[in-house]
Structure 1
Amino acid sequence: MRGDGDGWVVSDTGAAFWGRHGAAGLLVRAPQPDGSAAVLLQHRAPWSHQGGTWGLPGGARDSHESAEDAALREAHEEAGLARHQLTVRQTVVTTEVAGEGGTCWSYTTVIADAPELLETVPNRESAELRWVAVDEVADLPLHPGFARSWGLLLSVTASIPLEVNPRQ
């Protein structure tokens, strides 16, 4: 389903960014059997922008959506995750692009916890979905934007205890 956010924004430098109202992605953490955290990553389909790289389920925000709503919608569309399975912990603006008169585009990462390594259902935008141990994420060929923000996200998540109880 196409929303009013689908489309490219071009910055003053000529760089193009997907999402007329910005974009958002969902960093989902879940406990592995040993208690350490894993995160859900999406191996982007070859035909997509930056195809073949690993990143977060996410995409364009529609004009009526908060970053949290957009990230949760995209995670449902791209990974089959339902909102009730997740506990949102924090949002972090991981990229801001300046344009005439201020910010012309931003990407917000929504951090959420799942009670377990949930089953996922990829859509056509995913070559694969995989739960990856946090200390193995940087070993993958990451989407450039995700690679730039991974250090910040590690720092932020280090201060948030992993919530392992399902939402009531």
Structure 2
Amino acid sequence: MGDGDGWVVSASGERRWGRFGAAGLLLVDGGARRRASGHAGGRAVLLQLRAGWTHLGGTWGVPGGALDSHEDAVAGALREAHEETGLDPAAVEVLDERVTADLGTWRYTVVLARLRADAPVQRPHAATAESDEVRWVALAHVADLPLHPGLATTWPGLRRWAEADLPP
């Protein structure tokens, strides 16, 4: 448990997890790396099904969580993705970051990344009790899932961002 774990209440009364904000990893793969490990081809993102006991459990989102006081969004997103999916941070090439929610006292940042071409094949999995499942989801099918409300609201823009920043 890090020093960032805890709820923040905004001036408008909204409760958000992460005393110092939160971040998530939008990890995109073009398909060749996943095909090598037996998965279907085509561009996809790594999503996590939040465990039923968690806040907004039963919804799909990007791996992520609360930032600790010493972390920036990239460090926090990579740490959380490793904790939740077993993904090796050294296998990730960070491309960009975008704040998708800013309540003044709390902000959520999405970190856009792709798998490094020279990294060993990654087999992400549900590595903690916080996840019921972790899987690659084709970009075209993400919106078909019951998404975490924050991802549902921002997905159209995040999808365009991922497609624009990741040539095939």
TM normalised by structure 1 equals 0.88
* 1:35-88 deviation line (CA, Å, top 9, x unaligned): 631100000000000000000110000110010000000000000001111111
Kept in 2, the 8 Å contact 1:30–1:117? The answer is no
Q: Where is the helix percentage greater, Structure 1 or Structure 2? A: 2
Secondary structure in 1 matching 2:106:
strand
2:36 is the counterpart of 1:31: no
Which amino acid in structure 2 is aligned with residue 91 of structure 1?
Answer: E
Deviation of 1:155 (Å): 2.1
Residue 93 of structure 2: aligned partner:
87
Secondary structure in 1 matching 2:82:
helix
What is the count of residue pairs matched by the alignment?
A: 157
Residue 146 of structure 2: aligned partner:
141
Moved over 3 A (4+): none
- Distance in 2 (CA, whole Å) between partners of 1:27 and 1:86 is 11
Q: Where is the strand percentage greater, Structure 1 or Structure 2? A: 1
- Identity score, percent: 51
Unaligned runs of 5+ in 1: 98-102, 164-168
Unaligned runs of 5+ in 2: none
Q: How does 1:78-157 map to 2 (within 5 A)?
A: 78-97=84-103, 103-114=104-115, 115=117, 118-122=122-126, 123-157=128-162
TM normalised by structure 2 equals 0.88
Q: How does 1:30-69 map to 2 (within 5 A)?
A: 30-32=29-31, 33=35, 36-69=42-75
